[in-house]
Chain A
Amino acid sequence: MAALQEGIYHAPGQRPDAFFAMLFLRAAPESTAGQIGQTFGQLWQTYQDLKAGKVRELPGHPVPPGRLTVLVGYGPKAFQLAGAQRPLPTDLGPQNRFRSPLPTGGGPLLLGSGLRYGEDVRTNLATEEIAVQLIADTQLAVHRAVVETWRTLSALADPETSSARLLLTSFYSGFQRDDKRSWIGFHDGVSNMESTERYGAIAIKPSGTEEDSWTEDGTYLAFVRLAIDLPSWDNLSREQQELLVGRDRLTGCALTTVDADGRPVVQAGCPVTGSSEVTDEGNAAFGEPPAVDDPLVKQSHVQRANHHELPINSRNSLRVFRQGYEFLEPLGQAPGFRAGLNFVSFQDTPERLRRMLTQDTWLGQTNFGGDPDHPVRGMDHLLVVRAAGIYLVPPAVEGEPFPGASILL
């Protein structure tokens, strides 16, 4: 029996908890798949203990587990380990991976996409053998799991050389917002799929490649750490912002056209009388923006990211299930912080996301939205990539010591 791992909040009524971390584990040089499997198996046990409130250093003194969930993904490098037991899945091939930053920093995330690495990003830290997603309802539960990861791996290191088989090389944390908006002030995640449709977009389906059949009912995780250039955003007028996003800034209602004076016009009837935002009760029908014919509105972010193609469980629809977390981190230069989004999506093939980001009339050639040939000033670098990776999230299979054990052991 195989099923999606925990940590993907797709079922009706489920909502992800408020705190998040994505951590990346690198295999030490010369490590074999078997050695990595043994080490990760012990780390997995640590996570199971933490979910039960057990901390190794505090036997008999449980701590609040914080509804911790743990999800593991495997990058292409995991399949290159000596002795790996599974071939690289077709959809994890180079055609569906992000490009590396330039050695001098910067460079496109994908040819055909307007997303670029930060000019100071020379190394992509999100491309290790293993990625682990932690989600909990307290920041402590997530952060504790990060520290216990280090502690477990250190304890497993060779006592003579102190070298560990698996190294925690980086992690990124984030939080959910209860205002259902993003740092740019607009509603976000409002048009995510109906919960009944999500599984069809997320779960890997049988394919014509027999060697990949073991991945069925798993999924692919895409992670992109995106910094937002808030000073440039704040320089825009409200109308400019709304036309770029495709929604009214205050109500969140989708735009359908512009009037004779070029002012955005929102969907008729939204929000319903007696409510003030698209997220208020009674406005569910307005969550997903309608198909529009206005060329200006068609170029907005929400219209480019979703062409309303059906069925959603077809890869043609380019729909992905987003489960992102915002972040705010200190920065040693003005404005003193970096705000952004940990973009996380799950999909049956990373091809959906790659195409969404690079296809003509979708987000291809744009950084966020608008006319790629005549971008609004500053909007060709509104979003800046700090790190990015694609991982196979194998199904949880009954009897396996941890999801994906059959890759390594």
Chain B
Amino acid sequence: MAYDVPGLADQLSDDLVVKWNETVQDAYDSLKSDLGSRFFTLDPGSLESPVSATVKWFGDPAEPNFCIGPETAQKLSDWGARGRQVLQNEYCEYHTVHQPDTSGRLRPKRVQVTTELREYWVSLAMHDPNTVRGLAASTLGFEPSWEDLYGVTDPASLSVQQRKEAFSRLVAGHGNDNTLVAAGVPAQPTGPLNTENALFMTHPINGLDDLLYIVLFGARPYARRTSDGVEPATREQIFRAFGVEHLACRHADPAAALGAHAAVFNGRPVAFANPLGMYVQSFSDFLFLYEDKPIPEAWVRRSRGAEGMSQRLEFGPSDEDDAFLDDIQLVRGDLAEPVTGGYQVIRELEVGPKVVAGPPTKVGDEEYVMLDTSTDPIRCQEATICQAIQQLRDEFEASQPLLRIAPRTMGRLGG
């Protein structure tokens, strides 16, 4: 196994590529004993005549939508770093840049969308501070200080583990890494580089280990017995059998797991195509209008990856443009509405890894994982995550300023 760097985005030394591959291998090894099988390989080169398997989903957070409806989902997801850190867990995170207009009113200017894996950046930060600083500079458009990256003026003076902890504390969050959690690194970064920008993904669910988990989880020939013989198990049966019904309601997990399962049920082994990464697979920029015309091409900037493998999208006017994000209209059906935040942008894009499948092989009777769990629909809005999201909504509403909403009545907008 030797993956290139995600998206072929960077020219790195061989040593750094090796370190990235070690990170991938470590993540796989931690899952292999429970989920490994002959139907998944970490080496796409070992597959004969590989064909792409479709694994993608829309970028908008699914959980707030099924818990509290689309309108509130949008408001909460757009609620700055708080919304991002709690809700943006479909392998797609964004930050909305605000700037004052000529009247001094703070308005949304553009949206930074990232699908870059946290582990890649942490790997670079551990082993080559200069490279990570250079990447951050080219991505953000300014060179960050060492203090903002590591909390010290000289990261070379830190050990590799110290750099990992320092960078994670300020820029990456702990990503459910046990050593980082034990070291007291918070789940989300505390520094400005990746909270006042979307540099790469930080939500712990958006990690490499979870990506491997959901594909490995699906890459087994789950089956059910019917009067016609053996048929593929359903989404409901698979997620119910392992007590993770709540995952079935998200975008990413069922798409990745069932995408792999569809191939594996026919005996086709799957692998992440080279390079392993999470990519923007489609974006309907033609749904956005500015002054009733298609938006200028320069307002859609894909980066951090070769063609077809973008891991970053900046959407909206640059600083040199007088226009603001909310001057752009998003037209869906018979509705045109100003773009007020990133939610409306990521709802129109699809993300996913590149997965390939090999040729069919015979699946032995003993290889099927027979499930007899119920095929009944899973009631997503009863998931426990909905309680947390309702709390977030209450928090959001309480944070809104008191306004006169009716004669002699003060109240809060939002919710």
Contacts and interface: CB of A to CB of B under 8 A. Distances in A.
Interface of A: 90, 93-100, 110-112, 200, 205-209, 290-293, 307-311, 313-314, 316, 354, 358-362, 364-365
B17 interface: no
B258 A311 contact: yes
Contact of A311 (B254, B289, B380): B254
Q: For A96, A293, A311, which residue has the most chain B Cβ atoms within 10 angstroms?
A: A311
Contact of A90 (B52, B69, B380): B69
Given A205-B377, A359-B350, A94 B259 contact: no
B239 to A, nearest CB: 10
A90 B284 contact: no
Sorting the interface of chain B by its residue count into under 10, 10 to 19, 20 to 34 or 35 or more gives: 35 or more
B54 A309 contact: yes
A285 to B, nearest CB: 10
Contacts of B57: 309, 316
Contact of A208 (B285, B332, B381): B381
A291 B289 CA distance: 33
Contact of B333 (A110, A310, A359): A110
B331 A309 contact: no
B381 A111 contact: no
B56 A358 contact: no
A112 B331 contact: yes
Most A CB within 10 A of own CB, among B53, B281, B331: B331
Interface in B378-415: 379-381, 386
8 contacts: A93-B335, A97-B333, A112-B286, A206-B381, A309-B54, A310-B258, A316-B255, A359-B348
List the 5 shortest-distance A-B pairs measured between CB atoms, nearest first.
Answer: A310-B258, A94-B335, A311-B235, A209-B69, A360-B282
A211 to B, nearest CB: 9
A240 to B, nearest CB: 25
B371 interface: no
Given A291-B54, A361-B282, A208 B254 contact: no
Contacts of B65: 208
Given A208-B66, A310-B254, A291 B53 contact: yes
Q: Which of A94, A314, A354 has the most CB of B within 10 A?
A: A314
A335 B52 CA distance: 44
B284 A358 contact: yes
Given A206-B381, A316-B58, A360 B283 contact: yes
Given A99-B334, A309-B56, A361-B282, A208 B255 contact: no
Contacts, number: 112
Interface string B59-75: 00000111111101100
A121 B161 CA distance: 69
Given A207-B69, A291-B52, A97 B235 contact: no
Nearest to A354: B333
A95 B335 contact: yes
Nearest to A212: B69
Nearest to B263: A291
Contacts of A112: 284, 286-287, 331
Contacts of A362: 282
B51, B285, B386 interface centre (most CB from chain A within 10 Å): B51
Contacts of B23: none
A308 B266 CA distance: 15
A85 B116 CA distance: 48
Nearest to A390: B333
A98 B333 CA distance: 5
A75 B262 CA distance: 37
Nearest to B352: A309
A313 B380 CA distance: 13
B334 A309 contact: no
Contacts of A313: 235, 377
Given A205-B380, A358-B287, 18 more contacts: A94-B335, A97-B335, A98-B333, A111-B289, A111-B331, A208-B65, A208-B67, A208-B68, A208-B70, A290-B51, A291-B51, A291-B53, A307-B56, A309-B259, A310-B262, A311-B258, A313-B235, A354-B333
Given A90-B70, A311-B235, A358-B284, A96 B333 contact: yes
B251 interface: yes
Interface in B241-256: 251, 254-255
Contact of A310 (B67, B259, B381): B259
Given A309-B255, A358-B284, A206 B379 contact: yes
Most buried by A among B69, B332, B379: B332
A79 to B, nearest CB: 15
Contacts of B284: 112, 358-360, 364
A161 B344 CA distance: 51
Nearest to B347: A355
B333 A99 contact: yes
Contacts of A94: 333-335
A361 B285 CA distance: 12
A354 B58 CA distance: 14
Interface in B57-111: 57-58, 64-70, 72-73
A110 B53 CA distance: 30
Interface centre among B68, B285, B287, B334 (most CB of A within 10 A): B334
A7 B129 CA distance: 65
Contact of B66 (A95, A207, A358, A364): A207
Contacts of B348: 359
Contacts of A316: 57-58, 251, 255
B190 interface: no
B234 interface: yes
Interface in B302-338: 331-335
B54 to A, nearest CB: 5
A196 B101 CA distance: 55
B47 to A, nearest CB: 13
Given A112-B331, A309-B255, A311-B234, A206 B56 contact: no
A308 B68 contact: no
Nearest to A108: B331
A95 B333 CA distance: 5
A314 B53 CA distance: 18
B380 A206 contact: yes
A359 B349 CA distance: 8
Contacts of B53: 291
Contacts of B386: 208
